[in-house]
């Protein structure tokens, strides 16, 4: 089955489709509030149609490394380590064989639990409970019986028809075995697992992927053998035994996890119901703020006015949400929209200052004032604060621009002497305008007699005058 992808996130598989717009959406673009209920189309507002959860599932051959890592999760790893450790204790003892049988039964019961959980869509190992291991312990025995029957069947073929047909029968058995194990795991019935018709139907429904899976399983099986062979025989016998048991169990868990996943991937074809809530977090799903998904879609469709309205509505609903304001600010910058910047970003700057984010406020101001030079925050205190910041960061011209005519616009602002002392400093130090700098100081002396800051004003006047004398060309 060909995968369908989201129009706006080409890497993300689509979950919903709008018939009116002929657009497919991922779960980020169109999210349903209730699991499985069709959400409305972000473009036209009509109800979307489900594409099936199967479309979201990543094919098993794309997540091979995850199968390898599955038994390395704490729960399965500790479990097989414990079993391998037990096998070390009993190796060579009189009850060794019997004990190994018990260990294997417990192990395969766990492997079946993993197969079943994975088939249901639980892609991470669940904790092991008593019932996981001890309920239905006959399941691994059924698998043993399954192997016994298949072996018997092949032996019969050898006896009745000779070597050629026997080889053919073995090949068919090997190819059918994973399907039989998968049926046994889902149905818990050895008769169904041995039913050639059921095996054929299962293989047919999974399609060519079934044989890709068989290939991987064969590779894993030989991988386990190779890895065991690599263990040097110089190891003490019981340690060698335990290590090779550990390796075999590790590879078996990979294989059972993979078989379970194939059921999960093809659950729709197999008529198997799964839990959609356990979809892999990183199944190509874009991590984007859900509040912006409709805005992003509208922008991509060129519906800028609608996107702008939507953002403004969002800000009216939550005036304190700085993320939404940033989004609108970016939108106006991209659109070169002077009016929008003056109306919106000036307010945004005020809020950033109040939220104690001075460097953010400065960035927004510098970005916005490039396009809208007239933009200024509405409050005198905020302009003053921003100007101080800009001056400290080498943006003297922008600082001066903010303080221009402050005393006329805000006659009652008590910070005027401080702001204008700053103006005077910028005039003198940045523009070299000593006369204008002195004029500003004169104005302060006249207008704010008795203000505590006049001491600093006087000091600065002396600085300017000393510099002027020092810089006078000697005749
Ligand atoms: Zn999307
Ligand atoms: Zn639509």
User: pLDDT tens digits for 284-319?
Assistant: 444 556 677 788 888 888 888 888 998 999 899 988
> What is the reported pLDDT for 293?
78
Do 191 and 90 have their domain in common? yes
Counting ligands in written order, the one closest to the CA of 294 is 1
| pLDDT above 80 (res 53) | no
Range of the domain at 157: 64-278
Report the separation in Å between the CA atom of 292 and the middle of ligand 1, taken as the mean of its atom positions.
Answer: 11
pLDDT given for residue 475 in this prediction: 52
Cα–Cα distance between 91 and 81 in angstroms, integer? 15
Residue 148 to residues 110, 154, 177, 341, Cα–Cα distance (Å) = 21, 10, 12, 78
Question: Of 1-5, 277-281, 449-453, which has the strongest mean pLDDT?
Answer: 449-453
Distance 4 CA to ligand 1 centre (A): 11
> Would the pLDDT of 106 be above 90?
yes
- Closest ligand to residue 285's CA: 1
- Residue 21 tokens read as 């717009």
In angstroms, what CA-CA distances link 460 with 385, 421, 440, 467? 21, 8, 11, 11
Distance 52 CA to ligand 1 centre (A): 16
CA 51 to ligand 2 center in whole angstroms: 15
Q: Which of 52-56, 59-63, 214-218 has the highest mean pLDDT?
A: 214-218
Indicate the range of 44-58, 112-126, 404-418 predicted with least confidence: 44-58
Ligand 2 centroid to Cα of residue 326, in Å, is 28
- Asked if residue 52 has pLDDT above 80, the reply is no
Q: Which of 278, 306, 341 is the last residue of a domain?
A: 278
Q: Are residue 52 and residue 69 in the same domain, yes or no?
A: no
Boundary residue ending a domain (15, 34, 56): 56
Do 30 and 136 lie in a common domain? no
Q: What is the mean pLDDT of residues 421-430?
A: 93
Do 47 and 78 have their domain in common? no
Q: Are residues 36 and 133 in the same domain?
A: no
- 93 in a structural domain: yes
> Domain boundary at 278, 313, 344, which?
278
- pLDDT of 442: 93
Instruction: Please give the pLDDT value at position 308.
Output: 92
With respect to residue 456, please indicate whether it lies within any of the assigned structural domains. yes
Residue 291 Cα to ligand 1 middle (Å): 13
pLDDT of 116 > 60? The answer is: yes
- Among 400, 159, 120, which residue's Cα sits nearest to residue 267? 120
Give pLDDT, residue 283.
47
**Helix 416-429 and helix 380-392, axial crossing angle in degrees, nearest 10:** 30
User: Average pLDDT, whole number, for the chain?
Assistant: 88
Same domain, residue pair 119 and 202: yes
- What are the residues whose beta carbon lies below 5 Å from ligand 2 (ion)? 18, 20-21, 41, 43-44
Q: How far is the CA of 49 from the centre of ligand 2 (A)?
A: 10
Q: Which ligand is nearest to the CA of 46?
A: 2
Read off the tokens for 154.
């092949």
- Asked if residue 90 and residue 35 are part of one domain, the reply reads no
In the reported structure, the alpha carbon of residue 327 is separated from the centroid of ligand 2 by a whole-number distance in angstroms of 24
State the Cα–Cα distance between residues 314 and 310, nearest whole angstrom.
Answer: 6
Q: What is the pLDDT of residue 289?
A: 67
Question: Are 171 and 79 members of one domain?
Answer: yes
Domain count, the chain: 3
Q: Is the pLDDT of residue 374 over 70?
A: yes
Q: How far is the CA of 423 from the centre of ligand 2 (A)?
A: 56
Q: Find the 9 Cα to ligand 1 centroid distance in Å.
A: 4
Residue 307 lies in a domain: no
Task: Examine the domain organization and report whether 20 and 68 are in the same domain.
Answer: no
Residue 285: per-residue pLDDT: 47
Average pLDDT over residues 18-46: 82
Average pLDDT over residues 413-420: 93
- Tell me how far the alpha carbon of residue 39 lies from the centroid of ligand 2, in angstroms: 11
Distance in Å, CA 57 to ligand 2 centroid? 24
Distance CA 327, CA 413 (A): 32
Asked if residue 285 belongs to a domain, the reply is no
Does some domain include residue 99? yes
**How far is ligand 1, taken at its centre, from the CA of residue 27, in Å?**
7
Same domain, 239 and 126: yes
User: How remote is the CA of residue 55 from the centroid of ligand 1, in Å?
Assistant: 13
Quote the ligand 1 centre to 12 CA distance (angstroms).
6
- Based on the fold, state whether residues 51 and 175 are members of the same structural domain: no
Judgement on whether residues 136 and 36 belong to the same structural domain of the protein: no
- Tell whether 444 is covered by a domain: yes
- Quick check: is 223 in a domain? yes
Q: What is the mean pLDDT of residues 247-270?
A: 92
Residue 102 forms part of a structural domain? yes
């Amino acid at each position: 089955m060909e995968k369908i992808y989201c129009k706006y996130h080409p890497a993300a598989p689509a979950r919903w489709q709008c018939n009116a717009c002929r657009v497919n959406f991922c779960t980020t673009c169109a999210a349903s509030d209730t699991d499985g209920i069709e959400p409305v189309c972000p473009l036209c507002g009509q109800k979307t149609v489900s594409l099936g959860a199967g479309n979201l599932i990543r094919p098993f051959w794309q997540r091979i490394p995850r199968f390898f890592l599955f038994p390395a999760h704490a729960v399965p790893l500790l479990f097989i380590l414990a079993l391998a450790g037990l096998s070390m204790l009993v190796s060579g003892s009189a009850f060794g064989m019997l004990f190994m049988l018990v260990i294997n039964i417990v192990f395969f019961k766990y492997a079946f639990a993993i197969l079943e959980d994975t088939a249901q869509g639980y892609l991470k190992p669940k904790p092991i409970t008593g019932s996981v291991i001890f309920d239905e312990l006959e399941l691994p025995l059924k698998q043993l019986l399954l192997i016994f029957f298949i072996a018997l069947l092949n032996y019969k073929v050898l006896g009745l028809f000779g070597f050629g047909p026997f080889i053919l029968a073995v090949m068919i058995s090997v190819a059918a075995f994973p399907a039989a194990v998968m049926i046994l795991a889902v149905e818990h019935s050895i008769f169904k697992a041995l039913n050639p018709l059921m095996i054929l139907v299962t293989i047919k429904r999974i399609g060519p992927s079934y044989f890709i899976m068989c290939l991987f399983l064969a590779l894993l099986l030989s991988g386990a053998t190779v890895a065991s062979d690599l263990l040097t025989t110089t190891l003490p016998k019981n340690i060698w035994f335990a290590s090779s048991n550990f390796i075999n169990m590790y590879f078996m868990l990979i294989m059972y996890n993979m078989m379970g996943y194939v059921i999960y991937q093809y659950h729709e074809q197999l008529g198997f119901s799964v839990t959609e809530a356990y979809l892999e977090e990183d199944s190509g799903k874009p991590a984007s703020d859900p509040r912006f998904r409709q805005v992003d879609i509208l922008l991509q469709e060129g519906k800028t006015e609608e996107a702008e309205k939507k953002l403004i509505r969002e800000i009216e609903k939550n005036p304190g949400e700085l993320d939404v304001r940033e989004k609108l600010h970016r939108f106006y910058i991209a659109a070169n929209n002077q009016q929008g910047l003056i109306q919106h970003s000036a307010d945004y700057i005020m809020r950033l200052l109040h939220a104690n984010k001075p460097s953010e406020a400065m960035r927004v101001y510098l970005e916005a004032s490039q396009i809208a030079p007239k933009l200024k925050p509405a409050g005198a205190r905020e302009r003053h604060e921003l100007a101080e910041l800009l001056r400290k960061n080498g943006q003297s011209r922008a600082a001066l621009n903010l303080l221009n005519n402050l005393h006329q616009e805000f006659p009652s602002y008590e910070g005027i002497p401080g702001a204008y002392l700053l103006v005077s400093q910028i005039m003198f130090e940045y523009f070299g305008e000593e006369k204008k700098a002195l004029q500003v100081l004169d104005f302060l002396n006249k207008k704010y007699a008795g203000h505590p800051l006049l001491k600093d004003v006087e000091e600065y006047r002396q600085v300017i005058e000393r510099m002027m004398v020092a810089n006078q060309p000697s005749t």
